């Protein structure tokens, strides 16, 4: 919609992080009695930078993967967004609210699912847990019934709705947690390892639920996970964080283009070849007559590699394997991201 001066109306980000830094300080304790006595009179501190100058913004309705190795700063960032932690410096706004300044208002806007923790009441049936959460968030009863019926259908909750939470399987409990996080119609949902330890059926139910609430309700979702199948299935944009710093912020396809530089040609020879030498490739593995040749797509096309193989050896089959997101992200974690190449979606 144009404004009076002809300028376009620009949607405000629903989540903003500007130059966010979080430092944890701890006392350095020396061993032995002498060290304990010395600490009484003169304390030495050590600072641990968990998040360092993090900047990003999310538009309403985005579904973003927030990824990084253990200790990269993912959970610390999420805790600051939820208001559990206060940034050492920088600014965070969530739906126009500074989380740690207005925790109650922020809680109304967000839902949270932690793979290793539950917000359900352990000794109560699932249905009664939902009723308690309805009262806590003051959800109108009609809206509560509509939401519960909708989520129950997507997540197949009805068959264990009257079972105490402690008797639910991990997959059943996680489905209940997802419904619980969405009962009050939050604008934003944070998902921390939501499919960890789940079987294939439960994972599929959770992924379908995430996709549905994002698409139908416009819920903004931040997903942190080590299961990169979740990332490929659910997200189009990812933010990579390592050692507290954002090293990539952009489309999944952009990451593939930048780091998915190598492809694999799987060749099945007519007979066992003792020595396989194809210029521009390296042998990744071989098993009998099947050899996997790795090559850099920036230097050679797949067609050129296939032609070189066929000029030298008789083959019966050939196929190309594209790099998956798992191998690309693993390579970044192992080799590091070039210091000069910090990408941003903006």
Output DSSP code: residue 73: S
Which pLDDT tens digit goes with each residue over 285-307? 999 899 999 998 889 888 999 99
Nearest to 260 by CA among 291, 290, 221, 232: 232
Please tell me the predicted confidence (pLDDT) of residue 40. 66
Note the pLDDT tens digit of each residue in 80-95: 999 999 999 999 999 9
Nearby residues of 142 by Cβ (< 8 Å), 6 or more positions away: none
Per-residue pLDDT, 346: 39
- Rounded to an integer, the average pLDDT of 328-333 is 75
Query: From CA 277, how far away is CA 309, in angstroms rounded?
Result: 9
Checking if the pLDDT of 8 tops 80, the result is no
Same fold, 15-255 and 261-322: no
What fold does the segment set 261-322 form as a domain?
A: Alpha-Beta Plaits (3.30.70)
Instruction: For residues 144 and 280, give the distance between their C-alpha atoms in angstroms, rounded to a whole number.
Output: 62
What are the two backbone dihedrals, phi and then psi, of residue 111, each rounded to the nearest 5 degrees? Answer: -125, 150
pLDDT of residue 342 exceeding 70 = no
Task: Please write the tens of the pLDDT for every residue from 213-251.
Answer: 999 999 999 999 888 888 888 998 999 998 899 988 998
- Can you tell me whether residue 133 is helix, strand or coil? helix
Compute the half-sphere exposure of residue 195: CA atoms within 13 Å on the CB side of its CA: 23
Q: Of 230, 180, 170, nearest to 202 (Cα)?
A: 170
H-assigned helices in 83-199: 103-109, 126-137, 141-155, 170-182
The pair of three-digit structure tokens given for residue 258, joined into one six-digit string: 């930048």
What 3-state DSSP class applies to 30?
Answer: coil
What is the rounded average pLDDT for all residues in the chain?
86
Tell me the C-alpha distance between 86 and 22, whole Å.
8
**What whole-number distance in Å separates Cα of residue 70 and Cα of residue 286?**
33
What local confidence, expressed as pLDDT, does residue 52 receive?
A: 94
Question: What residue spans define the domains of the chain?
Answer: 15-255, 261-322
pLDDT in tens, 178-193: 999 999 999 999 998 8
Taking the model in full, what pTM does it have? 0.78
Tokens 């593995």 belong to 285
Backbone angles phi, psi at 88, to 5 degrees: -70, -35
Least confident stretch, 11-15, 41-45, 273-277, 303-307: 41-45
Q: Which pLDDT score is estimated for 5?
A: 46
pLDDT at site 337 = 60
Looking at residues 114-125, what average pLDDT do you find? Answer: 86
Mean pLDDT of 272-287: 90
User: Which one is the CATH code of 15-255: 3.40.50.300, 3.90.340.10, 3.40.140.10, 3.40.718.10?
Assistant: 3.40.50.300
Q: How far apart are CA 262 and CA 320, in angstroms?
A: 11
Predicted pLDDT at 149: 95
> How far, in Å, CA of 239 to CA of 258, rounded?
14
Mean pLDDT throughout 98-105?
Answer: 94
DSSP letters for 249-309: EEEHHHHHHHH--EEEEEEEESS--S----TTEEEEEEETTEEEEEEETTT--HHHHHHHH
């Amino acid at each position: 919609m144009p404004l009076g001066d002809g300028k376009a109306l620009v949607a405000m980000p629903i989540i903003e992080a500007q130059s966010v830094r979080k430092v944890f300080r701890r006392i350095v304790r020396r061993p032995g009695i002498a060290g304990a006595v010395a600490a009484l009179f003169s304390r030495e501190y050590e600072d641990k930078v968990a998040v360092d100058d993090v900047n990003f913004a999310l538009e309403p309705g985005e579904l973003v993967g927030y990824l990084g190795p253990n200790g990269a700063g993912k959970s610390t960032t999420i805790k600051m967004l939820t208001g559990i932690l206060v940034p050492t410096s920088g600014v965070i706004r969530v739906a126009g609210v500074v989380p740690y300044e207005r925790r109650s208002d922020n809680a109304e806007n967000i839902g949270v699912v932690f793979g290793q923790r539950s917000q359900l009441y352990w000794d109560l049936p699932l249905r009664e847990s939902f009723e308690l959460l309805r009262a806590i968030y003051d959800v109108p009863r009609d809206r509560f019934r509509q939401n519960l019926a909708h989520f129950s259908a997507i997540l197949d909750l009805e068959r264990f709705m009257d079972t105490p939470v402690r008797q639910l399987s991990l997959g059943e409990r996680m489905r209940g947690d997802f419904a619980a996080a969405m009962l009050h119609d939050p604008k934003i949902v944070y998902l921390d390892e939501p499919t960890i330890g789940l079987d294939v059926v439960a994972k599929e139910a959770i992924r379908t639920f995430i996709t549905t609430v994002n698409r139908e309700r416009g819920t903004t979702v931040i997903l942190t996970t080590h299961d990169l199948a979740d990332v490929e299935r659910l997200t189009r944009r990812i933010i990579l964080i390592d050692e507290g710093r954002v090293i990539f912020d952009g489309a999944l396809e952009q990451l593939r283009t930048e780091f998915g530089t190598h492809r694999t040609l799987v060749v099945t020879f007519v007979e066992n070849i003792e020595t396989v030498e194809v210029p521009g490739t390296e042998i990744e593995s071989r098993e009998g007559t099947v050899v996997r040749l790795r090559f850099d797509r920036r230097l050679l096309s797949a067609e050129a590699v296939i032609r070189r193989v066929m000029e030298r050896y008789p083959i019966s089959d050939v196929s190309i394997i594209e790099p998956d997101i798992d191998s690309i992200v693993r390579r970044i974690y192992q080799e590091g991201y070039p210091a000069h190449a910090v990408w941003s979606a903006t």
